[in-house]
Amino acid sequence: MIKDKLLTDNPELLHYIADKLHITILGGIKLTGLDRLKVTLKMICTDNKQVTFRHSLDLYNYIQTAQLIERSAETLDVSTTDINLVIGQLITELENYRATYLESLKPKPQEIRKLTDAERKAALTFLKSPDLLKQTQAAILQSGIIGEETNAIIAYLIYTSRKRNTPLHLMCLGASGTGKTWLQEKVGELIPEEDKLEITTLSTNAFYYFGKEELKHKLLLIEDLDGADNVLYPLRELQSKRRISKTVTLKDSKGNMKTVTLNVEGPVCVSGCTTKEQLYEDNANRCILLYMDNSPEQDKRIMDYQRRISAGKVDQYEERKVREQLKNVQRLLKPISVRNPYAPYLNLPDAVFKPRRTMLLLLMFTETITYYHQYQRELKTDQDTGEQYIESTPADIEAAIALLETALLKKSDELNDACRTFFEKLKSWLKQNQTETFYSKDIRSILRITPSSMQRYLHELELMGYIKIVRGSRYKGFEYKVNSWNDLESLTNNTRQIVKDILETINAVVRNPTVTQTDDGLHKPQRTNKKKEVTQ
């Protein structure tokens, strides 16, 4: 007697061998849609191999399965009892095969690497550096990142926020070839492997089938948001609500329909790259935006580094050593609450668009800087709740504003980054040539801009009143004149004056607390007789 077995060597051509029947599943089975089991069967009776029965059906459909048993029994001259038994066993084997295969596709959880005493001591010494942000910025550059000093430290701090209950999110913006993916990838290499998940493309429902806590406090690196277009909605929900859920219907073992809710919990830190800021505006509103440096100076730095790499003049071992050190620094950071007693003094320029979310991002970024300095802060205890926390300092606020100065200016500018860059280059060229008017065909060739981009920029600038048409026609070309010469300077000065006033106010009403802690970091709770309040 032949023992029933399912042969799965070829996923597209499964074989099920029973005592009297040999069944081939043509095209295999679908791994998605667990509420159905659609197959195309080729059935042969071992007693008469000249007769073949083929049929396509859903094995979970009772009527279709009953018809299969009846018609195959008649064609193959086998009793319905035998076929019914074989089909039941086949369904069980296919379910087990699908479950096993799906389980094998799940990424195995990364083991948290334990630090040696030497590694822990080095990481702790690093975290206690008096000028921690400067030390971190220098280490990031030593890890192999060329240029983009400010963008790199901002990205590193945002990725650090994944350990908090309210993580930040990042979107890298820029034209094709300006280094968006490269920056995200290189800074991502400074995060421990067990804390990140790199994604190229995702199917529509992919996020809902992660384990309930599989994404918790993870960094999601999305190479190109165009490749994740199908999952932008659940991605936004993960960013805002820090959890997603989906209700689906499934059949139980008896064929009855039942409702099941799939829950995936965050929080997660999301980082993505795109050239289309306006297309992903809803996601961009939830992120800190980084604009890539596409200056000629940055091009030279990158090309020089590429030449030195090719010539073997870059110490890649030292770069890897620095990357490992920064990973160890990340592993040493612990969950701790952060409070910012100076938040009431923070204001945004009136020109900032969507001030509610911009203010939230600024506050969260300040808290992240405080969190990163946790080994240099006094650990306090709330006398009412017993919660332990650390407090932000004026230095944290000043560092946050200094790092996000460009981002805040972008939030205040009604022109997008590409159009603003074009406009500033245009004004610079006009000033050099001591003229106020220009033809698009002349500027296009000088600034090396495609006709479509030129047309889009001019239309946007004219629509917002930055330039106007003084003469010309659609056929001969239009002559344009600049209306606004100092808009960016005024915006920058106003923003910096507001920041200066905020910092002066904060420094006038507060004093830095004394730092007390054990040699091993945050292990010594500090209790006070009453709450300390900041008063003006």
- DSSP codes of every residue in 139-195: HHHHTT--S-HHHHHHHHHHHHGGGSSS---EEEE-STTSSHHHHHHHHHTTS-GGG
Helix and strand numbers (H, E) in the chain are 17, 18
Radius of gyration of the chain (CA): 31
Inter-residue contact 266 to 216 (CB < 8 Å): yes
C-alpha dihedral (90, 96, 99, 102), degrees to nearest 10? -80
DSSP 34: T
Does 162 share its domain with 50? Answer: no
pLDDT of residue 124: 94
Distance between CA atoms of 171 and 221, rounded to whole angstroms?
10
SS3 (DSSP) at 514: coil
- Tell me what percent of the residues of the chain surpass a pLDDT of 70: 88
pLDDT of residue 56: 93
Does 212 share its domain with 144? Answer: yes
Does 151 share its domain with 35? Answer: no
Does 152 share its domain with 285? Answer: yes
* Contacts made by residues 126-135, CB under 8 angstroms, sequence distance 24+: 126/325, 126/329, 127/329, 127/332, 127/333, 127/373, 127/374, 127/375, 127/376, 127/521, 128/375, 128/376, 132/372, 132/373, 132/376, 133/369, 133/372, 133/399
Cβ atoms < 10 Å from Cβ of 403: 19
pLDDT tens digits, 104-133: 776 666 667 788 999 999 999 999 999 999
Distance between CA atoms of 204 and 446, rounded to whole angstroms?
44
In a domain, 365, yes or no: no
In a domain, 123, yes or no: yes
Which one of 51, 76, 105 terminates a domain? 105
Handedness of CA 438, 439, 441, 444 (dihedral sign): positive
In a domain, 266, yes or no: yes
Whether the pLDDT of residue 441 is over 70: the answer is yes
Does 63 share its domain with 121? Answer: no
Whether the pLDDT of residue 286 is over 70: the answer is yes
Does 121 share its domain with 101? Answer: no
* Contacts made by residues 27-32, CB under 8 angstroms, sequence distance 24+: 29/94, 29/97, 29/98, 31/98, 31/101, 31/102, 31/105, 32/203, 32/205
Does 190 share its domain with 74? Answer: no
Inter-residue contact 414 to 350 (CB < 8 Å): no
Whether the pLDDT of residue 496 is over 50: the answer is yes
Which one of 83, 105, 127 terminates a domain? 105
Average pLDDT over every residue of 207-217: 81
Distance between CA atoms of 449 and 441, rounded to whole angstroms?
10
What is the DSSP annotation of 397-438? HHHHHHHTHHHHHHHH-SS-HHHHHHHHHHHHHHHHTT-SEE
Out of 241-245, 248-252, 376-380, 404-408, give the one with best mean pLDDT: 376-380
Q: What is the mean pLDDT of the chain?
A: 82
pLDDT of residue 158: 94
Does 75 share its domain with 179? Answer: no
CA angle (250, 253, 256) in 5-degree steps: 55
64 is written with which tokens? 């279709």
- 486, with CB counted inside 10 A (0-12, 13-18, 19+), is exposed
In a domain, 464, yes or no: yes
In a domain, 79, yes or no: yes
Does 197 share its domain with 76? Answer: no
In a domain, 512, yes or no: no
Whole domain around residue 87: which residue ranges? 5-105
Does 250 share its domain with 302? Answer: yes
Helix (H) or strand (E) holding 99: helix 80-105
Out of 150-164, 228-242, 252-266, give the one with best mean pLDDT: 150-164
Distance between CA atoms of 6 and 23, rounded to whole angstroms?
9
Question: Which CATH number belongs to the domain containing residue 478 in this structure?
Answer: 1.10.10.10
pLDDT of residue 110: 64
In a domain, 341, yes or no: no
Q: Partners of 250 in the beta sheet?
A: 258
pLDDT tens digits, 453-482: 888 888 888 888 888 888 887 777 888 888
Distance between CA atoms of 393 and 51, rounded to whole angstroms?
83
Distance between CA atoms of 298 and 263, rounded to whole angstroms?
44
Q: Partners of 260 in the beta sheet?
A: 248
Does 179 share its domain with 82? Answer: no
pLDDT tens digits, 398-420: 899 888 877 776 766 777 777 88
Distance between CA atoms of 102 and 106, rounded to whole angstroms?
7
34 is written with which tokens? 């667990």
Distance between CA atoms of 19 and 3, rounded to whole angstroms?
7
Average pLDDT over every residue of 84-93: 90
Which one of 277, 311, 333 terminates a domain? 333
Distance between CA atoms of 457 and 499, rounded to whole angstroms?
31
Residue type for position 366: T
Q: In terms of DSSP bridges, do strands 243-251 and 257-265 run parallel, antiparallel, or are they unpaired?
A: antiparallel
Question: Which CATH number belongs to the domain containing residue 151 in this structure?
Answer: 3.40.50.300
Does 80 share its domain with 164? Answer: no
In a domain, 436, yes or no: yes
Confidence of residue 510 (pLDDT cuts 50, 70, 90): low
Find, among 347, 355, 333, the residue nearest to 285 by Cα.
355
Inter-residue contact 372 to 338 (CB < 8 Å): no
| Domain total of the chain | 3
